[in-house]
Amino acid sequence: MCKDDNTIKELIIGRRVGFYKVRGEIGCGTFSRVKLAFHALTKDKVALKILDKTRLDTQAQRLLSREISSMEFLRHPNVVLLYEVVETPSRLHLVLEYAGGGDLHNRICNEGKLSDTTSKITFAQILSAIKYMHNINIIHRDLKAENVLFTSSGCVKVADFGFSTRVSNRNKVLDTFCGSPPYAAPELFQDECYLGPPVDVWAMGVLLFFMVTGTMPFRADTMGKLRRSIIEANYIVPPWLPGPCQRLIKGILKTIPAERYAVDQILGCDWLLPVEFPWSLVAPEPTGLLEGHHRADDRLYCLPCKSAES
């Protein structure tokens, strides 16, 4: 292909990156543009996150290197996969698994709260992804609805590992304020140090509240008021929510991290009981891009069965 005039021309004008044929833009971040691309041989769709190396300041370089080093470890059906990184003299290209079904934030803003069943299916997939990350000592630290993407078939893919960190063990104390304030745990506003897993769990509580009610638990017109309402856990669980869901929200949104539900308690909660919830444990979808790679433990992975989605 290197001798093919057309391929060379496409490489020069940025219509091709390595084996990937680049198509239209699907999003943009602070330092990146994200484009749809196709693998020239397998035809698999990917999301190509393009970063201009000359525009990355020290902070952006640090976030990017965190994103890449965490994602290199992550292989789970509910986590966006990093297939490879392609570097050219001026640009870095993160070749990511494509999630073409939009994000949870837009879905709720456009269509309103999710039904109880859809909330369970969505929340259980996020939970499965977070359990897996914590098991391998990766803390996400920026869980929010904008970072929960869907594939076109409705499968959840947790994305955006720029604030993530790999810890030597889950009891490692952290000290950097990360993430989006409405999803931030109280200890992030109050304490100099915090433990990673409870911070992700709190953000899952905020996500759960947002999914089942269509509103955020903590809202305020100034940062000071938002901070106060989070520290005081000043939120109201609507009485019309099913009891098991109310109990789960209250178990997660506890201000003292040691009293907050742990991931395994959430997994065993009444709201996610299999009797109420038609789930199947299925093997991850095969993709040509991943042939030869092995997932860590297929038994942990939950994907929604088709009947539950329809």
Applying CB under 6 A, which residues contact ligand ATP? 26-32, 34, 47, 49, 80, 96-99, 149, 159-160, 162
- How far apart, in whole angstroms, are the C-alpha atoms of residue 284 and residue 155? 11
Beta-carbon neighbour count of residue 234 at 10 Å?
12
Q: Which of 48, 263 has the CB closer to ligand ATP? A: 48
8 A C-beta contact, residue 183 and residue 206? yes
Q: Which of 80, 1, 99, 98 is nearest to 44 (CA)?
A: 98
Q: Which of 31, 261 has the CB closer to ligand ATP? A: 31
Is position 35 annotated in a ligand binding site?
no
Contacts of residue 39, Cβ cutoff 8 Å, sequence gap at least 6 = 19, 20, 46, 288, 289
- The one-character DSSP state at 38 is E
- Looking up tokens 């509240």, which residue turns up? 209
Q: Which of 160, 254 has the CB closer to ligand ATP? A: 160
8 A C-beta contact, residue 81 and residue 97? yes
The CB-based long-range contact list for 10-18 (8 Å cut-off, 24+ gap) reads: 16/40, 17/48, 17/50, 17/86, 17/88, 17/93, 17/95, 18/84, 18/86, 18/93, 18/95
Q: Write down the least CB distance from residue 100 to ligand ATP, Å.
A: 6
Q: Which of 26, 267 has the CB closer to ligand ATP? A: 26
Q: Which of 80, 303 has the CB closer to ligand ATP? A: 80
- How far apart, in whole angstroms, are the C-alpha atoms of residue 48 and residue 64? 14
Q: Write down the least CB distance from residue 47 to ligand ATP, Å.
A: 3
- How far apart, in whole angstroms, are the C-alpha atoms of residue 106 and residue 27? 13
Tell me which H or E stretch contains 279.
strand 279-280
Residues marked as catalytic:
142
Q: Write down the least CB distance from residue 60 to ligand ATP, Å.
A: 9
Q: Write down the least CB distance from residue 187 to ligand ATP, Å.
A: 23
Q: Write down the least CB distance from residue 159 to ligand ATP, Å.
A: 5
- How far apart, in whole angstroms, are the C-alpha atoms of residue 57 and residue 156? 32
- Looking up tokens 């971040």, which residue turns up? 29
Tell me the binding residues. 49
Tell me the binding residues for ATP. 49
